[in-house]
Structure 1
Amino acid sequence: MAKLALLIGISEYQPGLNALPGAVQDLKAMQRVLQHSEMGDFADADITVLENPPRQVMEEAIETLFSGREKDDLVLLYFSGHGIKDEAGRLYLATSQTRKNHKGGLIQTTATAASLIHGMMENSRSRRQIIILDCCFSGAFAEGMKAKDDNTVDIKNQLGGEGRAVLTSSTATQYSFEQEGADLSVYTRYIVEGIEKGAADTDNDGMISVDELHEYARKKVQEAAPAMKPEIYAVKEGFKIKLAKAPVGDPQLEYRKEVERSVRDGQISPVSRRILKRRQFELGLSVEVAAQIENEVLEPYRKYQDNLKEYEEALIEAIREEGTLSQHTLKELKRFQQLLQLRDEDIAEIQKRVTLPPTPAHKRGGEQEMQGNFNIEVAKNTKPEPPKNQDDLSSEKGVDYTKLRDLLAAGKWKEADYETYLVMLQAVGRKEKDWIRDEELLNFPCTDLRTIDRLWVKYSNGRFGFSVQKEIYLSVGGKPDGKFYEEAWKKFGEHVGWRVESFWISYTEVTYHTSAPDTIPVAIYTSRWDGGTGRGFSCLASRLVNCNV
């Protein structure tokens, strides 16, 4: 029994088709997991990698993959690039030579027809065939796919492991998520992750079958890009073809699966947090490793939030530029929505919030101006000076610290802690439910950092504040160089009460008191904004020193 793979990536195209530099990275990632002895376990010599091959070379390689095989051989074809339909709706895989005629129609002889690949698959003796297509309209590949015995496509999940399976990044009518620069495509990223992390082995039998890999990638893709709908098609028992191995009993994998079960709509409930804390202890994982796994699991949700924010910013910019949006701009916004893989229901709330119902226009300089059929909140050009003898609420980024000041003045420490998280996100251009990256903390606006710290120190009589935490961190061995010092972080956590009996507490266990005799009470709880790993706090400590806070 042999295992053979052909990996094809097309990143360079003729005018009329966008370049996809990430396709080359897709190939490298797929090759890495397939040839790994503890994952795909394909022999190096049995993996063929083609970057931007001419059409004839590509087709010959596909024919070689399927021809001359034995019944039990496993053959895998992977393609990353553009998929194109002709005027009759037939799918073609674009090559670096693919062109369109003067009417915009596909010149068929410059691309590889799906029907050609169907024929090669039909003529092959192999009864274990896997096709993974990361391209637009890839779901159309299943059209015309058939079994040799009864001329039907069986898409029911049957037991076994012989047959044919096609995994597609999109439906027959969808564009796929285009790569950003040289990053992996969103679909290939989660195909690779499911194998590399072992997370796709949902039945814990130590093997990843095709249907398990599909379900893992589908779920993660739709968390990041809800409009994108990966699909699977199988002939006979292709669903259960075993593609890769997965570790059994690995603590990090066990914790990852626990986190996957705990997350609901990008959030971890207080009860689930306690479950995760218990499992972390039982599995012997450090806080840093557990936090890294959680961040990886939550990354698709954060990507989705980033896409929502990007669309909202584009809509606001367009309204400010035009007032009444032209048909051309509306089409551009629709195209941008498609690229971000956002559904209509995803952007409905944004449109409701940004494009308010028509109201009478105020005079120029007022808080709101009529913008044709769209209204947006327009900030005044002038910023009033703060009243004398009151707190300085200065901000480099236009953040309003009034609510934070009022909560602190009322001694509502927990509510002020959450408000601090929100205003910090604002200061770096992020939104609620997100977290702040290390480089953003290293460059956090000094004016805002001073404002936040002054308010906390003043109203807590010197017990709370970033400057207070910084001094403690430095006193236990931390250094203001942006590097992470694990031992110092643990000692710091013990000093301020975030770490009890060698165990990090959850946010639900945080208490806020200004009268604790032995420790500085918890305030401005870092897990809200840096993922709880301590690495973000070390970056912030460096920034505090640089800003003389």
Structure 2
Amino acid sequence: MAKIALLIGVSEYGEGLSNLPGTQADIEAVQRVLQSPQIGDFNTVERLLNPNCTQMEKAIEQLFGENRSRDDLILLYFSGHGVRDDNGTLYFATTNTEKNAQGRILTSTAVSASALQNYMGQSRSNRQVLVLDCCFSGAFARDMKAKSDEAINVKAQLGGEGRAVLTSSTATQVSYEKEGASIYTQYLVQGLETGAADRNEDGQVTVDELHEYAKEKVQEAAPTMQPEIYAVREGYKILIARAPQGDPKLIFRKELHERAKRKRGKLSPIDRRAFKFRSRELQLSEPEAELITHEVLQPYAVFWEKLGEFEQAVEEMLAYEPQLSEGSVDDLQYFQRVLKLRDEDIAPVLRTYQIDLTLDSKRQEPEVVQPPKQSEPAAKQVTETLKPTTEEILLKSEKGIDYSKLRDLLEAQDWKAADFETYLRMLEVVGRKEGDWIRNEELLNFPCADLKTIDNLWVHYSRGKFGFSVQKKIYVDCGGELDGEYPGNKIWEEFCDRVGWRKENTYISYSKVIFNTTAPTGHLPFGGRFLLAGFARVGRAGLLSHRDL
């Protein structure tokens, strides 16, 4: 068995495409961790910088085709521009890629996704990982360079058996850089180099663990960014690297990360005192502890800086135009998109300055009231950012069920108690008692208001990591049909592998459920004795087929 990687970076382009100087730093960082005997331990890691079309395609063909065996692990990393033709076909731009006078790509000057798909499909290797650090649409911020401006269906063009395809953004988002390494690549490398990507602490980093770590870190800084992973069968569980076990630096990093995540990076003086004591307890030097603290808190610092920028923009806009016009509202909404901030992120700012950025058809201008002179800057209102108002998540129920306890448990991130509370409330909805389970027909006809309330609470407080609708998306990605029918063994097994309900071809027991955010996406709610044990495949398929999820 061999581990072979090809790292392609294109930083220099002809007319029509902007240069991307950060790609070389990306390549060097990825090469460093893959070649390390303690981390990636790849047998071969080749770099290809600024190739033309012929050179790039030839290198890709050789990567997948030359003397490969079934057990070989092949990894292809690409950092550069992604473009498309009029038919929506994805192409990877090279140094000689051209666009015509109308701005259309000259396909003969770029490497097509279909060509790459062909080489991957013909390869004897059953383990293939593709990392695309390029974008497929979007905008760019003031100090960031966009890498593309098109929309692509990545999964349809690059999915395949025995593969994992990782992308730095969705098909409608931009991947960007700040003159240095890409933010997505930065955290891929960090997750491998520090071992922090080993979510289940088994000493190994799998593809899905690595992606989940990088995605979480990216979203700490840019909440609207959505790095994605596409895989089938064992693709999610391909082993990429080793991770240290019992390493004091890794223990300190993970403990600090969990605390910082709860407070969105705003550690109190007592928190800092506690971690100073913890670092001494773990026998870390002061420089080591300071470096880890900086790395953990850095993406949050970026987020709060962005929110401060948005608040300053609001102040400037109000000074310039006290009664905001429709154009000014549009400007603020555009700036919000540039900063990659969600509506809930900027909500405290809008509440402080009493601004409504939503314009309906009956009102030409938003209602604006000047802020009080003594108001506290909204960028400091951490708890307001994290707590939804009753208007944001209404605890609706068709059966008069009280979901306030579930809300409070989720807000406190008591995932295990919230999981059990979900079980109890769902039983109450269908008129059953603790210890019982829900029948298939009851799930298919589960009241929509109650299902939406439960799902909205899980999705909101986990920041999109847990919830029935999250599980539904994964289920569909695995090939599940939305008809409530019994899913085939392969579909069900792949789904359970993805969400972590199966390990080494064996379904986990309740004692093995991971009740923290290191769990795989979609791992919760598990529901203990009924969401799996009670009705297994048929019932879960019925729930995930629900029309209102």
Give me the TM-score of the superposition, normalised by structure 1. 0.58
Q: Note closer, same or farther for the CA distance 1:281–1:213 as it changes in structure 2 (3 Å cut).
A: same
Counterparts of 2:326 and 2:86, CA distance in 1: 26
CA contact (8 A) 1:323 1:372 kept: no
Counterparts of 1:355 and 1:226, CA distance in 2: 23
Counterparts of 2:354 and 2:155, CA distance in 1: 41
Counterparts of 1:349 and 1:251, CA distance in 2: 38
* 1:51 aligned residue: 49
Decide which of 226, 232, 236 is 1:235's aligned counterpart.
232
Amino acid at match of 2:18: N
Counterparts of 1:15 and 1:319, CA distance in 2: 41
Counterparts of 2:350 and 2:243, CA distance in 1: 44
Written as runs of structure 1 = structure 2, the 5 A alignment for 1:6-405 is 6-43=6-43, 46-68=44-66, 69-137=68-136, 140-147=153-160, 163-176=162-175, 178-181=176-179, 183-263=180-260, 264=262, 265-268=264-267, 276=275, 279-317=278-316, 336-351=335-350, 353=352, 356=355
Query: Cα distance, 1:314 vs. partner?
Result: 4.2
Residue by residue, what CA displacement relative to the aligned partner does 1:40-63 show, whole Å, maximum 9, x if unpaired?
A: 1224xx222122211221111111
Q: Note closer, same or farther for the CA distance 1:285–1:6 as it changes in structure 2 (3 Å cut).
A: same
Counterparts of 2:325 and 2:100, CA distance in 1: 30
CA contact (8 A) 1:323 1:373 kept: no
Counterparts of 1:319 and 1:22, CA distance in 2: 37
Residue by residue, what CA displacement relative to the aligned partner does 1:277-314 show, whole Å, maximum 9, x if unpaired?
A: 56434311244432332221111111111122233434
Name the stretch that deviates more: 280-289 or 320-329: 320-329
Amino acid at match of 1:17: L
DSSP 3-state at the match of 2:165: strand
- Give me the CA root mean square deviation: 3.5
Residue by residue, what CA displacement relative to the aligned partner does 1:372-413 show, whole Å, maximum 9, x if unpaired?
A: 98777799xxxxxxxxxxxxxxxxxxxx9xx9xxxxxxxxxx
* 1:4 aligned residue: 4
DSSP 3-state at the match of 1:59: helix
Q: Note closer, same or farther for the CA distance 1:120–1:10 as it changes in structure 2 (3 Å cut).
A: same
Residue by residue, what CA displacement relative to the aligned partner does 1:82-129 show, whole Å, maximum 9, x if unpaired?
A: 222333333222223333333333332232221211111100001111
DSSP 3-state at the match of 2:232: strand
CA contact (8 A) 1:319 1:374 kept: no
Aligned length: 358
* 1:493 aligned residue: none
Q: Note closer, same or farther for the CA distance 1:191–1:121 as it changes in structure 2 (3 Å cut).
A: same
Counterparts of 2:370 and 2:17, CA distance in 1: 36
Residue by residue, what CA displacement relative to the aligned partner does 1:22-81 show, whole Å, maximum 9, x if unpaired?
A: 1221111111111122111224xx222122211221111111111121111111111112
Q: Note closer, same or farther for the CA distance 1:326–1:70 as it changes in structure 2 (3 Å cut).
A: farther
Q: Can you give the 5+ residue segments of structure 2 that lack an aligned partner in the other structure?
A: 137-150, 358-364, 383-549
Amino acid at match of 1:233: Y
Q: Note closer, same or farther for the CA distance 1:314–1:92 as it changes in structure 2 (3 Å cut).
A: farther
DSSP 3-state at the match of 1:125: coil
Counterparts of 1:241 and 1:47, CA distance in 2: 18
Amino acid at match of 2:55: V
Counterparts of 1:318 and 1:283, CA distance in 2: 49
CA contact (8 A) 1:255 1:280 kept: yes
Query: Cα distance, 1:321 vs. partner?
Result: 5.8
* 1:504 aligned residue: none
Greater Rg, structure 1 or structure 2?
Answer: 1
DSSP 3-state at the match of 2:295: helix
Counterparts of 2:172 and 2:28, CA distance in 1: 28
Counterparts of 1:28 and 1:51, CA distance in 2: 11
Counterparts of 1:355 and 1:16, CA distance in 2: 43
Q: Note closer, same or farther for the CA distance 1:316–1:111 as it changes in structure 2 (3 Å cut).
A: farther
Amino acid at match of 1:303: V
Residue by residue, what CA displacement relative to the aligned partner does 1:482-507 show, whole Å, maximum 9, x if unpaired?
A: xxxxxxxxxxxxxxxxxxxxxxxxxx
Amino acid at match of 1:259: L
Query: Cα distance, 1:357 vs. partner?
Result: 7.4
Give me the TM-score of the superposition, normalised by structure 2. 0.58
CA contact (8 A) 1:226 1:343 kept: yes
Amino acid at match of 2:249: Q
Counterparts of 1:74 and 1:226, CA distance in 2: 32
CA contact (8 A) 2:349 2:379 kept: no
CA contact (8 A) 1:316 1:376 kept: no
Q: Note closer, same or farther for the CA distance 1:356–1:26 as it changes in structure 2 (3 Å cut).
A: same
Counterparts of 1:327 and 1:175, CA distance in 2: 26
Amino acid at match of 1:142: K
CA contact (8 A) 2:84 2:152 kept: no
CA contact (8 A) 1:139 1:170 kept: no
Counterparts of 1:62 and 1:375, CA distance in 2: 59
DSSP 3-state at the match of 1:172: coil
Q: Can you give the 5+ residue segments of structure 1 that lack an aligned partner in the other structure?
A: 149-162, 359-370, 380-399, 404-421, 435-549
